């Protein structure tokens, strides 16, 4: 995909925010911490509202000994890094960037184009998660969660002009819901098994909005701490070749 984009648009991976270096790795680590904070608040909200409950602890899943459990967790972590890189490169880097290029070419202001691109990207991301939820999860919940996720991933991308922060958040949120508070029917090893709300309800709104507000605040604080200011979300690399 990177090669095709390079030959079609003459654009390097760095222009989409994939440029490994000290700052990139620092943002990835920061994103991973923010993702853990987000999921901790989300799990607390699920338990506090009674919309979910812990049904098991210290489960090895389908594995039989500590060595295979360790290998499974390591392989899962590596897989989620790849998932984060792939999905955020496509939906945040490529889709948002090229939408901004298209909008600005039609005389839309850069901030308006960027905001519109983030929303469109989140909606596409949500639609493609229609059947990607956990067993028993309603389609409306799966799509809603993915759209909300697409919005905060997109925000992390445009505020940093880099994929590192959204990839880090993506990685740790996926890992949390797999091996920290995993799904009840999952074969992965998990510290705890947690049921989650499966239908749209008032409790689900709390479970979605409160942790998301914490996450957005953490992203803004991270950008302020690492960049010194919150710059206009306009993707400075857009238009560069």
User: How would you write the pLDDT of the chain (241 residues) with one tens digit per residue?
Assistant: 667 766 776 777 888 888 888 999 999 999 999 999 999 999 999 999 888 899 999 989 888 888 999 999 999 999 999 999 999 999 998 899 889 989 988 988 888 899 999 999 999 998 887 766 555 566 777 888 889 999 999 999 999 989 999 999 999 999 999 999 998 888 889 999 998 876 767 777 888 889 999 999 999 999 999 988 776 555 555 444 3
Q: Which two tokens stand for residue 201?
A: 């309800």
Burial class (CB in 10 A: 0-12, 13-18, 19+), 186: middle
Q: What's the angle, vertex CA 83, arms to CA 162 and CA 193, rounded to 5?
A: 120
CA-to-CA separations, 122 to 13, 22, 106, 147, 219, in angstroms, rounded: 21, 28, 22, 5, 17
**How far apart (Å, rounded) are the C-alpha atoms in residues 141 and 135?**
12
pTM here is 0.89
pLDDT of residue 241: 38
């Amino acid at each position: 995909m990177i090669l095709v984009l390079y030959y079609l648009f003459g654009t390097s991976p760095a222009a989409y925010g994939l440029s490994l270096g000290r700052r990139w790795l620092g943002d990835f680590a920061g994103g991973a911490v923010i993702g853990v904070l987000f999921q901790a608040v989300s799990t607390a909200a699920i338990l506090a509202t009674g919309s979910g409950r812990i049904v098991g602890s210290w489960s090895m899943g389908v594995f039989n000994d500590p060595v295979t459990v360790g290998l499974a967790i390591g392989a899962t972590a590596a897989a989620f890094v790849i998932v984060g890189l792939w999905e955020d490169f496509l939906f945040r880097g490529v889709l948002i960037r090229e939408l901004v290029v298209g909008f600005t070419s039609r005389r839309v202001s850069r901030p308006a184009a960027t905001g519109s691109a983030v929303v469109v990207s989140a909606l596409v991301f949500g639609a493609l998660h229609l059947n990607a939820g956990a067993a028993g999860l309603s389609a409306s919940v799966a799509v809603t969660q993915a759209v909300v996720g697409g919005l905060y991933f997109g925000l992390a991308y445009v505020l940093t002009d880099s994929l590192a922060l959204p990839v880090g958040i993506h990685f740790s949120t996926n890992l949390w819901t797999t091996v920290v508070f995993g799904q009840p029917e999952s074969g992965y090893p998990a510290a705890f098994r947690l049921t989650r709300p499966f239908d749209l309800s008032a409790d689900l709104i709390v479970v979605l909005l409160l942790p998301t507000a914490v996450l957005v605040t953490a992203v803004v604080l991270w950008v302020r701490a690492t960049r010194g200011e919150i710059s206009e979300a306009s993707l400075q690399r857009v238009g560069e070749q």
